[in-house]
A and B are shown apart, each in its own frame.
Chain A
Amino acid sequence: MDFALLHDAFWGLTFDGIALGAIYALISLGYTLVYGVLRLINFAHSEVFMIGTFAALVAASGIMGVKVEDDPRTGVKMVLTLLVCLIAAMLASAITAVLVEIVAYRRLRQRGATKLATLISAIGVSISLVEAFRIMTHSLPREFPRIMDKTFLFSYAGADIRNDKVIVIIAAGIMMFALERFISKSRLGKGIRAVSMDENTATLMGVNINRVITVTFFAGGLMAGAAAFFYILVYENTSFKVGFFLGISAFTAAVLGGIGNLKGALFGGFALGLMETWSSAVFGTAWKAVISFIILVLVLLIKPTGLFGESIQQARV
C-alpha cells in the first residue's frame, strides 16, 4: 500500500480521475435514463458507445480528411474537425440507440413480453454488434489520429493540467447541464418524467409513450456518443471490445448513484472514476476493480437503492 503516492500526487490523480469519471458519468446517464423509463437495463448501451468511437474515427478520416500520420491541426481547422467528430459520434450513437429500441425492445414491450425476454434480447443485440465490428475490423484495435496537440495548460500543486482532459471535463459538464435542463424543463422531458412515475397514468394524460421512449433512447445515445468522442480524444484508440469494460464501469456507476436517477448517475460516474484512480495509486492498478466493487457492495448494503435513490422522480430533477 502506497499512501505516500496518493498524498504526493493527489491533485494529479484527482484531475485524471475526474476526467475518467466524466466519461463514465456520460455513459451511465444512458443506462439510468432507460431504466428510469422502462425499468430495463439496456445491455446494448456499451455497444452504442463503441459505435460512437468508430463514428468519430470515420468522421475524422472520411469527412475531415485527417490522416493518422498527419501533424495535429491548429486554429479554426482543429476546432471544426473536433466538432465534426463530436457531432458524428453523438448522432451515430443516438441513432444506434433508437434503432436498438425499435428492433430489440419495442415489439417485445408491445406484446407484453417478460422483462427477462427483453434482457436476453438486449444481450443478443450487444453480442451481434460486438461480433459484427470484430469481423469488420479484423479483430484489430484502431488508432485515432491526433487532431489536437496535447499540451500542459498549467501546473497546480504538482498536477500537470492537460488541455484534452480539461476539454473533456468542461464539455461533459455542459452536456450534463443541458440534459438536466431538457428533462426538467422541456415538454418531452416532462413526458419522460411522467412515464417514469407511472406509465398508465401518463398514457391517460395523453403522453405518447412510444415517442417518450424514443426520445429517452436518443438522449441516452447522444450522451454515450459524446463520451465516445471524449474517450477517443484522450486515449486515441478503440476496438470492437472497447464498450465492454467501460460499459460495466458505467453501469456500476449508475447503480452506485441509484439507477434511474440522473444525479445519481453523474455522482456515481465521478465517484467511480476517482475511486479507481485513487485505489490504483494506493493498492496498485490490478486492485482497482476489486476496491471499486467492494465500495459498491458496501454502499448497497447500507443503501440498497444507491446513494440517491432509485428513480427519476425521487430525485425531483
Chain B
Amino acid sequence: MLTPAITLSASLSRDTRTGKALHMKKNRVLAVVAAVAIATSSFVAFAPSASAACSGKLKIAYQGPLTGPEAALGINELNGVKFALKKFLDTNKSANVDPVVYEVDDQGDPAVAGPIAPKVAAEECVVALVGPAYSGASKVSLPIYLSAGLPIITPSATNPTLPTFGKTIFHRAVLTDDYQGPAAARLITSHVKNAAVFLVNDASDYAVGLQKTVDITLAGRVAGKDVTPTGTTDFSATIAKIKKSKANAVFYSGYFSQAAVFVKQLRDSGSKIVFASGDGTLDNQFVKLARKAAEGALLTAPAIPFETASPKLAAEMVKAGWTPGVYTTESFDAANFFLEAIKAGNTDRASINKYVSTKSSKGLSKTLKFDADGEVSGADVNGFVIKNGKIVLLGAIKA
C-alpha cells in the first residue's frame, strides 16, 4: 500500500524540476492509460457469453474459501460436493459429468472473488456452481454469473440482499440472516435471564447484515455496540466498553478466526458473560483456537450437521476420506439437486437453471424447493453450545 505513494511522489518531484521531464511524464501517463485500456478491453473480451457450448464432460464448480484463514468452512462445503459427486457417479457410471469438482478459491474475500468470477463464467463446461460460500464474495460474483447464465445454489451465504445481485440464477439452500438473527436473539434470551446484550461485528457484509437482525429482535435489550474490523488483534477498548455497559451477554457477528481471539481476550479480562455468535463462528477451528475460552459459547446456524442428518452417510463419507463439518449437508444437497437436473437430461446452463428453479429435490437437510427469489422454505435455524471442547446440537430454535 505504501509503495505506490512513494514511487508516485518520487516521480512527481523529479518531473517538476524540468519541462522536459514533465513532457516525458505526459508520455508516460499516456502509456499507462493505453495499457489500462488494453487490459480492460481484453478483460471485457474475456467476459463470456451465455450461449457457449461445452464439448467435453460437464463440470460442477464449487466456490468458497479453500485457502486463507476461513478455509475450514470452504473445505467442509467442498467435501460435501465431492461426496455427492462420487455417490452420483457410483450409481450413474455413464453420466457425462467430470468426476473432479471444479474448485474456485475466493478465500471468502470479495477482492479475490472479483477477478476470478469471470474466469469461472468463461469455462463453458462449468454448468452449475455450488457457492459462493460468503455473502461479500457473492455480491461481486453473482452479477457476473447472472450475465453468463450460470446457475448457483449457495449453501451458506446468508445475507438477505443477495437475490437482487443474482436474480434468476440465484438459489439459496439455507435460511437468510433475516431468520438466523432473530433465532440467535431468541437463543440468547432463553439462556440468559434479563438479557442485556452487547453487539460486536467485524464490519464484513455478512456480519453487518446478521447483527442488524439480531439488533431489531433484541430491541430494548441491546446494552451497547462496537465494530472491530477484520484484522483487529487488540480488543481492550471493546472489552472496556462491554464492562461499562454492564451487559450479561455479548453477540459477536463475524468469522471464527477473529471470534477466537476476541473471546480469549474477553475471558482473560475476567469477564464471565455469555458469549454468543452465528454460523461464521460455528467451526471446530474456533474451539481449537479459543480452547477453554470457547466453553459455553452459544452458536446458531441455519444448517444441520451431517452426522445428525444421516449418521450412515456420514460414516460412509469419513470412510471415503472426507470429514463433514458445518454446511457439508447443505452443500451435499445443493450438488445433488444439480446432478438430478443433469440426470434428467439437462446439459446446459439455461436448462439446468430452469430445472432447479422449478422442480424440487429431497435433500438430507430439507426438501429444496425455491421460490421466485431463489429462497428455500421449510427450514430451521439450529442452536448449538460448546461443551467439553465439542460443538453440541441444542436443536431447532423455536419461534
Chain A residues in the interface with B (C-beta under 8 A): 2, 5, 8-9, 12-13, 16-17, 20, 41, 43, 68-69, 116, 119-120, 123, 134, 138-141, 143, 150, 152, 160, 162, 235-237, 239, 241-242, 244-246, 248, 251, 276-278, 280-281, 284-286, 288
Contacts and interface: CB of A to CB of B under 8 A. Distances in A.
B236 A140 contact: no
B319 interface: no
B237 A277 contact: yes
A239 B69 contact: yes
A32 B70 CA distance: 35
A134 B69 CA distance: 9
Given A20-B234, A138-B71, A286 B227 contact: yes
Nearest first, the 6 A-B pairs at minimum CB distance are A280-B237, A16-B236, A286-B227, A9-B240, A139-B67, A281-B237
Interface in B221-262: 226-229, 231-238, 240-241, 243-244, 257, 260-261
B269 interface: yes
Contact of B289 (A138, A162, A237, A251): A237
21 contacts: A12-B240, A13-B237, A20-B236, A41-B2, A119-B3, A123-B3, A138-B67, A138-B71, A139-B71, A141-B69, A143-B289, A150-B268, A237-B261, A237-B289, A239-B69, A277-B234, A277-B236, A284-B227, A285-B235, A285-B237, A286-B227
Interface of B: 1-3, 6-7, 10, 67-69, 71-72, 107, 203, 226-229, 231-238, 240-241, 243-244, 257, 260-261, 264-265, 268-270, 285, 288-289, 291
Grouping DSSP codes into helix (H, G, I), strand (E, B) and loop, the B interface class, with mixed when no group exceeds half, is: helix
Contacts of A8: 244
A280 B244 CA distance: 14
Contacts of A69: 291
Contacts, number: 102
Contacts of B107: 139
Given A13-B237, A237-B260, A139 B69 contact: yes
Contacts of A5: 240-241, 244
B264 A281 contact: no
B233 A235 contact: yes
Do most interface residues of chain A lie in helix, strand or loop, or is the interface mixed? helix
Contacts of A68: 291
B228 A140 contact: no
Contacts of B244: 5, 8-9
A27 to B, nearest CB: 13
B241 A140 contact: no
Contacts of B269: 160
B67 A134 contact: yes
B17 to A, nearest CB: 17
A205 B313 CA distance: 78
Given A116-B7, A284-B227, A160 B240 contact: no
Contacts of A12: 236, 240
Nearest to B107: A139
Nearest to B66: A139
A152 B69 contact: no
A273 to B, nearest CB: 9
B264 A160 contact: no
A239 B68 CA distance: 10
A229 to B, nearest CB: 15
A140 B71 contact: yes
A110 B332 CA distance: 60
Nearest to B243: A9
Given A150-B268, A286-B229, 14 more contacts: A2-B241, A5-B244, A9-B244, A16-B236, A43-B2, A68-B291, A123-B3, A138-B67, A141-B260, A236-B264, A239-B69, A281-B237, A284-B226, A285-B237
A278 B238 CA distance: 11
B233 A119 contact: no
